[in-house]
Amino acid sequence: MKAILTTLVLLAALLVPVGTAQAVTTGNGSLVYAPPAGSAFDAAGTTYAKIIALKNNGTHNGELLVTYDQLVYVSGHQVYPIYRSTDGGSTWSHVSDVVPSSTFPSLTLTSQPFLYELPQAVGGLAAGTVLLAGNLMPADRSSSRIVLYKSTDRGSTWTYLSTVDTGGPAVYDPSPTSTTTTVWEPSFNIDASGNLVCYFSDERQKASGVLQAVVYRKSTDGGLTWGPVVNVAAVGNKSDRPGMITVAKLPNGKYIATYEVVNRPSQTLNTAPVYYKLSDDGVTWPSGLGTQIKLADGRGIGSSPYVRWVPAGGPNGMIVVASKWGLDSSGNINGGQDFFVNYNLGLGNWERLPFAVTYDASDTQGGFFSGFAQGIDVSPDGTTLYQATNVENASTTYNDIRVGTIPLNADHYEAERATVNNVSTVTHADASNGAKIGNINYSTSYVQFDVKAPAAGTYTVNVRYDNGTGATSSHLVSVNGGTAFTLSYPPTYDWGRFRWAQFTTALNAGTNTIRFSYNGTYAELDFIDVHRPGVAVPGEFKIVNRNSGKYLEIASALTTDGAGAGQWGDTDHMTQIWKVSSAGTSGYYTFTNKNSGKLLEIPSGSTANGTQADQRSSNGATYQHWSLTPTDSGYYKVPNRNSGKLLEIYQNSTADGAIADQWGDTGCACQQWTLVKEGIQ
């Protein structure tokens, strides 16, 4: 979907200076740019926020660059502004403008920018070169041109490199009778052969019944010249209209492409659900439309997706997809405050991870295309996810550009799974795990989290809340029964719009309590994340048996050496949560029970079929090591390193309490497992 195409009104305006930014987790992120009131020629003010965290620039690694579609004229033309942060996104400086009209004087309109840092040398371009692509148009939008610029000094100066492709008028018409021939929405990646690939949307195949395709052109000389157009997804039914493609490389060498499909689920209910495909090399893609990204309950996402793979979150890292809005199981717009994530290399179940920055996804509160075509990236150490997006500003009626962060090294605790008193569980589409705690309204009301800390020290606690009172609210917070302090919650737009509060506290090694109590005002709690900045932690998961659908656990929540492992339905207890960590040898992992702190093993190094798995303190033995061998649909076989036999549920049982043992490969579904994270305590 494209930005709103409005009548252009020439308004001279200058970039406003960047003020002091707010904290990047609280305050709905930090402010990068706010269009001055009365300055923009489009009701949105800004769209297409894009961000990269430098990872191939030596001592400058970790610096952040942001650009966006700035719907304001500078001296009679548009520019691509470049902002930089050297403090993790807390503050921003305007460092340069890319001015396409200096190369193409008649092309005064810019749109759809994309930033990309080369991870390796390509042609004559060195690793660390920053690329910017965008779509250029004349004032009457009578043509479209995808162009490429490069910077070798981290965005300070830019050089025109090449034109990737040209198309017809930039007119958005998704109807089956459309005759448009536009090229739109470029993005980049490096294919398996080391070539630079530009992916984009192409409306020039209508003679074949293709309303719009997502395609690519490949460059073997570092972006100077481009090969032929090749389809990634093109459907000849004059209706399905894939667009806004981005591509990420996965650690197994495969690639994932995500894109919206306009005119889905129907031409009358056009909410542009997000689809994906997997490729072995980034340029060879299966035929067809692809697979819609959905949760197990049928919820999806729609409009202007962006995909990244990040190394944190689990043994395979995770695929993170940002999109403008959420969809219910029927395809209707319904919320939109969560990334959709996959921990299994694009196979199997999708889950959610809350946004750092929220916005009015359905534009019902005065925003215009808020959250449209946002960008995400991860810090070089893999512990921080950055989100750049446009957010409605009630004062100017335009969208600001804001950047927020989410820690990827946090332990997660759901409010509805905590110990509660005199409160209510409230369902909400955008709440983590679909629920939050409300009605914390009485002197006896509280929500108490039992928090496991791996070591004594100072921890940061991020609190996802909503507060629709219109004024600042608060709770009293006490840690381990100590003196309570006041935690404030600035107002959110309503009782369905989430933001973040934050505090730091000392925690003891082992179990701690954090209690939130009524303090005379009103706010609701979704969950807390507890982490130590800069300290990586293993991913925490429930391990689900494919045959029974039940969770691997230590029976009766025992903490003793030798306690047996089995399966049980969901109990909300930490004995069903496992920390999946590298065993120090490539391809092998340890599974540490969160409740006991002990490792899953095959006792005494047995190699016999039917030996029950149990738990024991870490001893470095290979019988405490496991691997994850993919099967299909996101499931794994889990062989023990010592015996080579598979973790299973004995005799294919579906009963609560059935033991987990090892056995040679039988091909049975009871020997397959998947990793699930959302909603764990």
Total tally of structural domains belonging to the chain = 3
Looking at residue 365, what is its pLDDT?
A: 61
Q: Is residue 15 part of a domain?
A: no
- Mention every residue, 6+ apart, whose C-beta is less than 8 A from residue 620: none
Q: 139: burial class by Cβ within 10 Å (0-12, 13-18, 19+)?
A: middle
User: Could you tell me if 34 and 171 lie in one domain?
Assistant: yes
> Which of 140-154, 362-376, 451-465, 582-596 bottoms out in mean pLDDT, i.e. has the lowest?
362-376
Q: Which residue has the tokens 């490389």?
A: 249
CA 461 to chain centroid:
20
If one compares 575 and 2, the residue with the highest pLDDT of the two is 575
pLDDT exceeds cutoff 60 at 65: yes
CATH number at residue 288: 2.120.10.10
3-class secondary-structure state, position 427: strand
pLDDT (average), residues 452-467? 96
Looking at residue 534, what is its pLDDT?
A: 79
Q: Is residue 14 part of a domain?
A: no
Specify whether the CB–CB gap between 294 and 365 falls below 8 A.
no
Local confidence band at 3 (pLDDT 50, 70, 90 cut-offs): very low
For residue 92, what are its two tokens?
A: 């921003």
User: Could you tell me if 361 and 466 lie in one domain?
Assistant: no
Residue ranges in 502-565 assigned as alpha helix (H) = none
Domain that holds residue 598: 539-676
Q: Is residue 681 part of a domain?
A: no
- Give percent of the chain with pLDDT exceeding 70: 96
User: Could you tell me if 578 and 663 lie in one domain?
Assistant: yes
CATH number at residue 508: 2.60.120.260
User: Could you tell me if 380 and 421 lie in one domain?
Assistant: no
User: Could you tell me if 416 and 317 lie in one domain?
Assistant: no
Residue 27 amino acid letter: G
Q: What contacts 24+ positions apart, CB below 8 Å, involve 291-295?
A: 293/258, 293/321, 293/340, 293/350, 294/350, 295/340, 295/349, 295/350, 295/351, 295/352
pLDDT exceeds cutoff 80 at 19: no
Local confidence band at 363 (pLDDT 50, 70, 90 cut-offs): confident
Specify whether the CB–CB gap between 52 and 130 falls below 8 A.
yes
> Which of 434-448, 452-466, 529-543, 573-587 bottoms out in mean pLDDT, i.e. has the lowest?
529-543
Specify whether the CB–CB gap between 664 and 648 falls below 8 A.
no
CA 354, 357, 360, 361 dihedral sign is negative
Residue ranges in 219-317 assigned as alpha helix (H) = none
Specify whether the CB–CB gap between 197 and 191 falls below 8 A.
yes
Specify whether the CB–CB gap between 677 and 317 falls below 8 A.
no
Q: Is residue 565 part of a domain?
A: yes
Q: Is residue 583 part of a domain?
A: yes
For residue 633, what are its two tokens?
A: 């649909």
Give the C-alpha separation, 244 to 599, whole Å: 44
pLDDT exceeds cutoff 60 at 17: no
Give the C-alpha separation, 54 to 119, whole Å: 10
In terms of phi and psi (left: phi > 0; alpha: psi -120 to 50; beta: otherwise), the region of 308 is beta
pLDDT exceeds cutoff 70 at 22: no
pLDDT exceeds cutoff 80 at 366: no
For residue 604, what are its two tokens?
A: 């005494």
pLDDT (average), residues 107-114? 97
User: Could you tell me if 278 and 294 lie in one domain?
Assistant: yes
**Residue among 668, 629, 660 nearest 316 (CA):** 629
pLDDT tens string 302-329: 999 999 999 999 999 999 999 999 999 9
Specify whether the CB–CB gap between 587 and 622 falls below 8 A.
no
For residue 16, what are its two tokens?
A: 């406003």
Q: For the chain, how many residues are written?
A: 681
User: Could you tell me if 562 and 657 lie in one domain?
Assistant: yes
Q: Is residue 6 part of a domain?
A: no
CB atoms within 10 A of CB 586: 7
Give the C-alpha separation, 420 to 515, whole Å: 9
CA dist 206 to 178, 241, 260, 280, 567, Å? 8, 11, 19, 28, 55
Give the C-alpha separation, 387 to 24, whole Å: 10
For residue 570, what are its two tokens?
A: 């969901």
pLDDT (average), residues 650-670? 98
Global confidence as pTM: 0.95
> Which of 228-237, 533-542, 552-561, 568-577 bottoms out in mean pLDDT, i.e. has the lowest?
533-542
Give the residue from 479, 511, 531 where a domain finishes.
Answer: 531
CA dist 97 to 26, 41, 141, 568, Å? 29, 19, 22, 58
For residue 118, what are its two tokens?
A: 């080369």
pLDDT exceeds cutoff 60 at 1: no
Give the C-alpha separation, 209 to 197, whole Å: 25
Specify whether the CB–CB gap between 12 and 76 falls below 8 A.
yes
The H or E element that residue 590 is part of is strand 589-593
Give the residue from 483, 515, 531 where a domain finishes.
Answer: 531
CATH number at residue 607: 2.80.10.50
State the chain's mean pLDDT as an integer. 94
Q: Is residue 455 part of a domain?
A: yes
Give the C-alpha separation, 24 to 91, whole Å: 9
Give the residue from 514, 531, 548 where a domain finishes.
Answer: 531
Give the C-alpha separation, 527 to 530, whole Å: 10
Q: Can the peptide bond before residue 105 be classed as cis, meaning omega within 30 degrees of 0?
A: no
pLDDT exceeds cutoff 60 at 23: no
Q: Longest C-alpha distance within the chain, in Å?
A: 79
pLDDT exceeds cutoff 90 at 367: no
Give the C-alpha separation, 573 to 680, whole Å: 9
Nearest-5° angle of CA 356, CA 359, CA 360? Answer: 155
- Mention every residue, 6+ apart, whose C-beta is less than 8 A from residue 559: 595, 596, 597, 598
User: Could you tell me if 151 and 287 lie in one domain?
Assistant: yes
Local confidence band at 364 (pLDDT 50, 70, 90 cut-offs): low
pLDDT exceeds cutoff 60 at 16: no
pLDDT (average), residues 191-214? 98
User: Could you tell me if 544 and 418 lie in one domain?
Assistant: no
Looking at residue 25, what is its pLDDT?
A: 87
User: Could you tell me if 147 and 255 lie in one domain?
Assistant: yes
User: Could you tell me if 527 and 664 lie in one domain?
Assistant: no
**Residue among 666, 675, 622 nearest 648 (CA):** 666
pLDDT exceeds cutoff 90 at 7: no
CB atoms within 10 A of CB 273: 21
Q: Is residue 8 part of a domain?
A: no
Q: Which residue has the tokens 């009301």?
A: 445
For residue 214, what are its two tokens?
A: 């997502």
Report the first-to-last Cα separation within the chain, whole angstroms. Answer: 38
* Bridge partner list, 281: none
Q: Which residue has the tokens 């965290």?
A: 53
User: Could you tell me if 400 and 443 lie in one domain?
Assistant: no
CA 461, 465, 470, 473 dihedral sign is negative
Give the C-alpha separation, 278 to 283, whole Å: 10
pLDDT (average), residues 231-241? 97
Give the C-alpha separation, 623 to 606, whole Å: 8
